[in-house]
Amino acid sequence: MSLPNDRVPGSAISHGTEVLLEPGLSARASMVVCDGDTAIALRSGAVDVLGTPRLIALCEEASCLAVAKALPEGHTSVQLRLQFDHLAPVRVGSKVTADAVLERVEGRRLVFTVSVTDSAGLVGAGRVTRVVVETDAFLTKAR
């Protein structure tokens, strides 16, 4: 997928003269693992621990929160790419926290580093790349 880069890579996205997105924006999202969050419930495995799809969704939530207030009205961000290593199993009842930091702004592309921890340490880490889109125009393309 080719995206127009009408701004210098690494620069902030601006709307008019106001800068809206700059590297360094961050957010955190937490959850307690429930039965519905397990690999078995999500059909992504046969073990009763936090499923990778739910772990990734938590990282996406943190990424969205990091930029939500800075996006222009009528815009949102959507996931383009995910690179993630799920490093440790987490039991039902445990709390996990995802942290997302906006590392780079490349035109409309937003590159985040993400990490998830629990009380014992690192559970997973990686990168999430999102793209800023105009919400209505994006929805007209949905199939």
Question: Domain range spanning residue 76?
Answer: 25-140
CATH number of residue 85's parent domain: 3.10.129.10
Q: Which residue has the higher pLDDT, 123 or 15?
A: 123
* Each residue's pLDDT tens digit, 70-103: 999 999 999 999 999 999 999 999 999 999 999 9
Is 9's pLDDT higher than 70?
no
Is 58's pLDDT higher than 90?
yes
Q: End-to-end distance of the chain based on CA atoms, in angstroms?
A: 17
Overall domain count for the chain: 1
Report the predicted TM-score, pTM, of the whole model to 2 decimal places: 0.85
Domain membership flag for residue 20 = no
Q: To the nearest whole percent, how much of the chain has pLDDT over 90?
A: 83
Distance of CA 1 to the CA centre of its chain: 19
Domain membership flag for residue 44 = yes
Domain membership flag for residue 16 = no
Average pLDDT on 53-64 reads 97
Domain membership flag for residue 120 = yes
Domain membership flag for residue 47 = yes
Average pLDDT on 104-109 reads 93
Is 12's pLDDT higher than 80?
no
Domain membership flag for residue 73 = yes
Determine the pLDDT at residue 21.
86
Domain membership flag for residue 13 = no
Q: Picking from 13-22, 89-98, 124-133, which range would have the lowest pLDDT averaged per residue?
A: 13-22
Domain membership flag for residue 119 = yes
Sheet holding 121-134, edge to edge: 26-32, 95-106, 109-118, 121-134, 75-86
Average pLDDT on 94-119 reads 97
